[in-house]
Amino acid sequence: MDYFIKTIISLLKGKIDLPEEEIKTLLEIPPDFKMGDYAFPCYGLAKTLKKSPNVIAGELAKDLHAGKPIEAVRAVGPYINFFVDKTTLSETVLKTISKERDGYGNKDVGKGKTVVVDFSSPNIAKHLAVHHLRSALIGNAICNSYKTLGYTCVGINHLGDWGTQFGQLIVAYKKWGSENAHHTYTVTDLNNLYVKFHQEAEKDPGLEDEARAWFKKLESGDPGAKELWQYFKDISLQEFQKIYDMLGIHFDAFVGESFYNTMVEDTITRIKEKGLSRVSEQALIVDLEPYNMPPCLLRKKDDTTLYATRDIAAAEYRKKTYDFDRMIYVVGSEQKLHFNQFFKVLELMGHNWADRCVHVDFGLMKFKDGKMSTRKGKVVLLEDLLIEAVGRIRKIIEQKNPSLENKEAVASDVGIGAVIFADLCTKRSKDVVFDWDEVLNFEGETGPYVQYTHARLCSILRKYGKPVTAEIRFELLKEDETFILIKNLGQFPSIILKAAEFYEPSLICNYLIDVCGNLNRFYNAHRVLSDDEELTKARIFLVDATRQVIKNGLKILGIHAPEQM
């Protein structure tokens, strides 16, 4: 599609006083293909040319001479609409997909640049639950998007493995767990101890003082405290990895808050030396009142550090280690203030890269009973959710296609893919309300629907049974439904760019739904396999290209594309 955009830019740049990049940014896709393939709005020219946008569009359209690959130029209100040559577009798009295959959509815009993505980041000694899902899936899709664009992408799982809660867990273990020292502990056991601590602390507030004292020992390197902490961490990591393997998520580093503990004092010293901190109510803070924010708390009155202190140390370490061009934190919307404070402190410290740190926030994952809490023990476990999804798909397969090969693998791909798509298809700023009937629907705007469309295209190609060749007559691909689908396929690279730019995987989900809808309209209107050999070859080439684009899009989302369902 870049070929057509470049041609339009070359036509316009000699007639209007705008940089090429700005012209490219302003170009739009008309809502109705009958209005044209590209449109340039003339609103921005009205002030300098002192004419109405409609008049400017009319004059420019008359002055622009169409020629291949631009078939016609017409003024439509305040827009100049460009109509491309259908055969040229079909050949350009489909041959590009056929040549690039799994690499279609890839670009090198990020070559030589590094993006660090901090995502998932669960707390040690707690189960991975449904409310952990969004950060893991959004972060993974963002990583995949940037890799597709040529960036070196470093995925970091910033584990919550430090803080007062470990003092709480040590107290709970010593009071109610140590008598079972020979018992092989699981995360469930640790979580039960955590819940019990809070239940007992409501009756005996002194337990909180004990917990703070134990965490202070841990920060000071007490061997007994460190041994228990490492034990809790090892148990947790083993379970976490099992879930990440189910979701197909890989991290380049599992580096938790504890890793930065030895760096914190140096960080605080430098903040002090710059005159940024002061003592308030026995705590060390950075006063952010001039920036309309509450103070950033660096150290509590008992000398223990907090999230912000460790995040500042971590950011400096990552810049030194990876020399990132962008650092993305995929963390829920409720942490907006924390990141605003944290980024402001980095800026005040004189780090000129602070503006390249981005908080990618998102809404909650909910069931009908609302937000879930681990503290009270009410939680939907992520492993249980994934097992349930696979089990439900397995039942559907037994009902509809019991002779399907590799049933277990397909059930896993579709069940887990359904959960991933259900999360990512919602704009990330919105809350996701999880509904089984919608998530597993094969006919709605869901993961199974997209995967089934891919499998059906694979079935058509198997039925065709011959090599797919690019040696076709592209002029045969001329019907409206056909041309709309081909144009849609050509938009895939720009969709990836946009999804990465706005950290919005839902754009890829929505795009795949559009592709499947356009494919089904084409398929319902025109026979793919017919007695006309040349027409069949042309339509098979289109079918194969569509299959490839769906597969590539699902891969970015972290979803497998089964060939049979």
Q: Are 549 and 513 in contact (CB under 8 A)?
A: no
- Separation of alpha carbons 59 and 471, rounded Å: 42
**Of the listed ranges 1-15, 77-91, 177-191, 279-293, the one predicted with least confidence:** 177-191
Q: Please report, for the chain, the start and end positions of each structural domain, with discontinuous segments joined by +.
A: 2-84, 114-264+313-366, 382-428+439-557
**Residue 294: DSSP 8-state:** P
Residues contacting residue 328 through CB under 8 Å, at least 6 positions apart = 115, 116, 117, 118, 119, 139, 142, 358, 360, 503
Burial class (CB in 10 A: 0-12, 13-18, 19+), 106: middle
What is d(CA 254, CA 256) in angstroms, rounded to the nearest whole number? 6
pLDDT at 378: 58
- Place 376 in a pLDDT band, splitting at 50, 70 and 90: very low
Q: Given this model, what pLDDT does residue 181 score? A: 61
pLDDT band (50, 70, 90) for residue 377? very low
pLDDT band at 522 (very low <50, low <70, confident <90, very high): very high
Note the pLDDT tens digit of each residue in 111-169: 999 999 999 999 998 889 888 999 999 999 999 999 999 999 999 999 999 888 899 99
What DSSP letter does each residue of 350-419 carry, written as one string? T-TTGGGEEEE----EEBTTB--BTTTTB--BHHHHHHHHHHHHHHHHHHH-TT-TTHHHHHHHHHHHHH
Q: Which of 6-15, 78-87, 364-373 has the lowest mean pLDDT?
A: 364-373
Q: What is the pLDDT of residue 234?
A: 93
State the virtual CA torsion across 27, 32, 35, 38 in degrees, nearest 10: 20
At 266, list the tokens: 């140096």
Nearest to 555 by CA among 71, 102, 18, 77: 102
Contacts by 408-415, CB closer than 8 A, 24 or more apart: 409/562, 410/562, 410/564, 410/565, 413/451, 413/559, 413/560, 413/562, 414/447, 414/448, 414/451, 414/562, 414/565, 415/386, 415/389, 415/390, 415/391, 415/440
The tokens for 417 are 């893919």
Fold that domain 382-428+439-557 belongs to in CATH: Isoleucyl-tRNA Synthetase; Domain 1 (1.10.730)
Backbone φ and ψ of 276, nearest 5° = -95, -15
The sign of the dihedral angle between the CA atoms of 484, 486, 490, 491 is positive
Q: Please give the angle made by the CA atoms of 458, 461 and 463, to the nearest 5 degrees.
A: 110
- C-alpha 359/C-alpha 406 separation (Å) is 41
- pLDDT of 435-492, one tens digit each? 877 888 888 899 999 999 999 999 999 999 999 999 999 999 999 999 999 999 999 9
Total-model pTM? 0.91
| Residues 187/125, Cβ–Cβ less than 8 Å | yes
Q: What is the pLDDT of residue 362?
A: 96
Q: Cα–Cα distance between 419 and 386 in angstroms, integer?
A: 7
Q: What is the pLDDT of residues 197-242, one digit of tens each?
A: 999 999 999 999 999 999 989 988 999 999 999 999 999 999 999 9
Strand partners of residue 76? 79
**Using only C-alpha atoms, what is the Rg of the chain?**
28
Q: What is the CATH number of domain 114-264+313-366?
A: 3.40.50.620
How many angstroms separate the Cα of 252 from the Cα of each of 102, 118, 249, 316? 23, 10, 10, 18
What's the topology of domain 2-84? Answer: Gyrase A; domain 2 (3.30.1360)
Amino acid found at 461: L
Max Cα-Cα span within the chain: 88
Quick one: pLDDT at residue 366?
78
Let me know if the fold of 2-84 is the same as that of 114-264+313-366: no
Q: What are the pLDDT digits (tens) for 257-311?
A: 999 988 999 999 999 999 999 999 999 999 999 999 999 999 988 777 788 999 9
Average pLDDT, the chain: 93
pLDDT at 503: 98
Buried b (16+ CB within 10 A) or exposed e, 111-129: eebbbbbbbbbbbbbbbbb
Q: Which two tokens stand for residue 11?
A: 């036509």
Q: What are the Cα distances from residue 292, in Å, to 295, 340, 548?
A: 9, 11, 50
pLDDT in tens, 26-50: 999 998 888 899 999 999 999 889 9
pLDDT at residue 523 is higher than 60: yes
pLDDT reported for residue 375: 44
Say what the pLDDT of residue 177 is.
84
Alpha-carbon separation of residue 301 from 215, 304, 433 (angstroms): 14, 7, 41
User: Mean pLDDT throughout 76-102?
Assistant: 96
Q: How far apart are CA 147 and CA 448, in angstroms?
A: 25
pLDDT > 90 fraction of the chain, expressed in percent and rounded: 80
Rounded CA-CA distance 219/257 in Å is: 12
Q: Which range among 351-355, 435-439, 548-552 shows the weakest confidence by mean pLDDT?
A: 435-439
Burial of 373 (0-12, 13-18, 19+ CB in 10 A): exposed
